[in-house]
Structure formats: C-alpha cells, structure tokens
C-alpha cells in the first residue's frame, strides 16, 4: 500500500518552479508544457536521457536534491512496440515533444526526418535531417508521426493534404500524440490503410515510468498491458 497524494498544481511562472516544489513539500512531480525545459534547467541532477532531449517531464526529490527525468521518450517507444520494421520515420512538427520522439527513434537506429512549417525550431534538431513542408523531397517513410496540436481542438491536418497523401501512400505506420479523439490525421492515415495509434499508450506508459521513479519500484508492467 502506498501513502501519497497526486493532484494538479497551476504554476504561474517558470521562475517559481523550484521554489514551489520545495514550498509544497513535494517528493515528485510531473511537468507539462510549457515548463519542461525549465524543469530540466532548475534540477540539481539531470538524467542523461533528459539532458540529451533538452527537457524533463518528471522530477523526484532524493536526499534533498531534485532529479530530472524524461519519460515521454520511453513511453513513446513502449507505445510503438507493435510497429515492426521501422527504418525511417518522419516527424511532423518541431516542438519539445518532437525532440523527445526524434531522440528516442534515433537511439533505436531509426533514420529520422523532422518537417515543420518554419525553420525557427530547427536549431534544436541539428542531429537530424530537417525540412520545411514545402521543400520535402523524400517521401519514403515507414512511420509518420504527428507531434503537433493540429486536430486537438479542430479538424485541421498538420500540413497540406496533398503532401500528406503523397507521404502516407508509401508509409506503413502512423502515430498521433493526441489522444481522446480520432484526429483528421489518423482518419486520413486509415484511408491509406496504415496501422495507426493515437497518443493514449504513450501517455499511459510515460506515467508508469514516472510512477516507478516516484516510488523507486518496478510495477507489474505485464499486468498493465
């Protein structure tokens, strides 16, 4: 039996993150956008994976020090285990989530290309091939990932439908980080007969890995599956 409380807390200013962590006498915390980069910066000890990704979504207190971790990447890899033979992947969007997913795939030996509407965030993706949507010249990918918010509160696609049709006609798998609804992106992927997954399993598994860090336990993962 575990003794603890898990609840929400609205952080007003990222400068208060460390102060509020100790003020609330927390033993651990999950951090959401837009504070993941700040969470990594304020930590005393940074996990190697979180450091490489450049953001943290999980904080733990150990011996008076705040440790920072990123379980998004681990959750993503667990979620796509049923997708086999992924050699090349295209990630749509270039935000913090895209960076975590790109690093996770690269660690598994997957060739990654990141496509976005603007070049502004490409400075964070120097380890990967990058392209503007309208300049993409490679359309052969096993896996296509939507890491953008397109479809979350609307029926938008992450990029032009003509471009997506060209990409999806050659792909095998599709993943959308959004969950709780079938996005226009996933609907289009199904029209191309791709095997698809939304972001629920990624959300579930990142929470499982965070739980294990909070309580220093290995939960019964087979039972969860």
Which pairs with CB-CB distance under 8 Å and at least 24 residues apart come from 61-66? 61/21, 61/26, 61/27, 61/28, 66/18, 66/21, 66/42
Euclidean distance between CA atoms 90 and 115, whole angstroms: 7
Alpha-carbon gap, residue 114 to 125, rounded angstroms: 8
Q: In this structure, are residues 161 and 145 in contact, taking their beta carbons and an 8 Å threshold?
A: no
The DSSP code for 170 is: T
* Cis bond upstream, residue 34 (ω within 30): yes
Q: What is the largest distance, in Å, between two alpha-carbon atoms of the chain? A: 55
The active-site residue out of 23, 25, 36, 197 is 36
36 catalytic residue (yes or no) = yes
Residue 113's CB is within 10 A of a number of other CB atoms, namely: 18
CA distances from 30 to 40, 70, 77, 90, 179 (A): 12, 10, 19, 28, 18
By annotation, the residues acting in catalysis are: 36
């Amino acid at each position: 039996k575990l003794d603890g409380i898990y609840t929400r807390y609205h952080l007003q200013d990222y400068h208060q993150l460390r102060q509020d962590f100790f003020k609330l006498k927390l033993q651990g915390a999950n951090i959401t956008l837009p504070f993941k980069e700040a969470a990594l910066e304020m930590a005393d000890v940074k996990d190697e994976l979180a450091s490489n990704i450049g953001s943290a979504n999980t904080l733990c207190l150990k011996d008076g020090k705040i440790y920072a971790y990123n379980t998004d990447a681990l959750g993503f890899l667990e979620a796509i285990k049923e997708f086999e033979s992924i050699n090349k992947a295209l990630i749509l969007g270039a935000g913090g989530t895209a960076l975590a997913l790109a690093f996770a795939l690269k660690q598994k030996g997957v060739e990654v290309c990141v496509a976005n509407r603007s070049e502004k965030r490409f400075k964070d993706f120097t380890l990967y091939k990058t392209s503007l949507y309208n300049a993409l010249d490679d359309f052969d990918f096993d896996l296509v990932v939507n890491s953008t918010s397109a479809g979350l509160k609307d029926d938008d696609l992450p990029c032009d439908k003509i471009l997506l049709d060209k990409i999806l006609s050659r792909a095998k798998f599709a993943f959308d980080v959004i969950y709780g609804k079938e996005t226009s992106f996933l609907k289009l992927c199904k029209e191309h007969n791709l095997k698809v997954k939304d972001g629920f399993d990624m959300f579930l598994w990142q929470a499982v890995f965070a739980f294990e860090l909070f309580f220093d336990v290995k939960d019964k993962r087979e039972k969860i599956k």
